[in-house]
Amino acid sequence: MAKPRLNPAKMAKLENVSKIFELYGDQYDIDWVMLSAQAFQESGLDNSKVSHRGAVGIMQVLPATAKDPYINIPNIKPVENNIHAGTKYLRFIHDRYFDDPDIDKNDKVYFSLASYNAGPAKIRRMRTLARKQGYDPNIWFNNVEIVARRNIGREPVQYVANINRYYVIYKQLGIIQSQRDGIDIPTEVEIDPVQLIFESNRE
């Protein structure tokens, strides 16, 4: 059986949305491929999704968050507005809560993502607890994430891990590129997170 190949129709859909991620990623200085990975985790890139908590769209933004004066994008049903609101909120978290020179730039992103999921107040408390328990409060993986798992639960830990995994896969596969003839997937890369855009070639 042939290796899975890119589905051109689904690839085109992802590329169209990715242009919006790139636009607002550039505007708010956030890696737009990371934003795409976050959206995959949040909604599977489905802008029609509404959670049981009322979070809306591709970035699963709460209407109250979108209406906050710091975000001020009240109409989050259109996909572009939803991506704009989610990206702006992530940037707000980053700058308000983790603008600390002692935190590596990658860990600032991880803390911001965890806060997007669990709330910044909880993640700040986890950093304080981590310091008291002998972990490095400025590092997410294998440090603050351990404390978060014990005190909050698996959700924010799995959330950040999944997004990081999807990000790496997106980068390795080069799926945010105009390659419409299909590309072979490296055998060492797991493909289950990106089934949305792949199909099996059974010829």
Burial of 64 (0-12, 13-18, 19+ CB in 10 A): exposed
Going by DSSP bridges, is the β-strand pair 198-199/5-6 parallel, antiparallel, or unpaired? Answer: antiparallel
Residue in this structure with the two tokens 């939803």, named with its chain if needed: 82
Cβ density class 80-91: b for 16+ within 10 Å, e for less: bbbbbbbbbbbb
* Measured distance between the N- and C-terminal CA atoms of the chain, rounded to whole angstroms: 8
Say whether 203 is catalytic. no
Q: How far apart are CA 124 and CA 128, in angstroms?
A: 6
SS (H, E, C) 1-24: CCCCEECHHHHHHHHHHHHHHHHH
Q: How many C-beta neighbours within 10 Å does residue 150 have?
A: 12
Q: Which residue of the set 22, 42, 80, 155 is catalytic?
A: 42
Q: How far apart are CA 97 and CA 128, in angstroms?
A: 13
Annotated catalytic sites, by residue? 42
